Amino acid sequence: MKLTASQLRYMMALRKLDHGDKIRCTDLAKELCVKKPSVCGMLCRLENMGLITQDPYADVRITEEGRTAMEEWGRRLDCLAGLLAGRLGLSRRAAGEMALTLLGNMEQKSLEEALREVSTEYF
């Protein structure tokens, strides 16, 4: 499943906030330093993709499909961020931001090719 850089950013924030229970929209907004209306708009898109569910009280739950996508993209992000941090001497945070941008904008075939070169254990 292809995700944009923004969708990846939200999914990785959800991954960080996920403790197996519901996640509050306000916590997600705080984590991403964005306003709640921005969060609501993206959560609607993620829900339409089948990655999350929302209840009327603004609580979010990650679906099984969402967990699978989070883990897959999380591995890719960690792999690429590690490479960028190591090779370019970037902080982990800066490398993570750069990796999110790259992952969200690369074609799937190019991404798989690059990751295959970086980590033999990924594939």
pTM above 0.85, yes or no: no
Same domain, 18 and 38: yes
pLDDT score of 122: 44
Residue 66 neighbours by CB distance under 10 Å: 23
Same domain, 9 and 57: yes
CA atoms within 13 A on the CB side of 10: 27
Phi, psi of 59 (to 5 degrees): -95, 145
Would 83 be classed as within a structural domain?
yes
Q: Note down the domain range covering 91.
A: 69-116
What's the helix, strand, coil split of the chain in %, to 5?
A: 70, 5, 25
Number of folded domains in the chain? 2
pLDDT tens series, the chain, 123 aa: 788 889 999 999 999 999 888 899 999 999 999 998 899 899 999 999 999 999 877 789 999 999 999 998 888 888 888 888 888 899 988 998 899 888 888 887 877 777 776 665 444
pLDDT score of 121: 47
Whole-number Å distance between alpha carbons of 58 and 45:
14
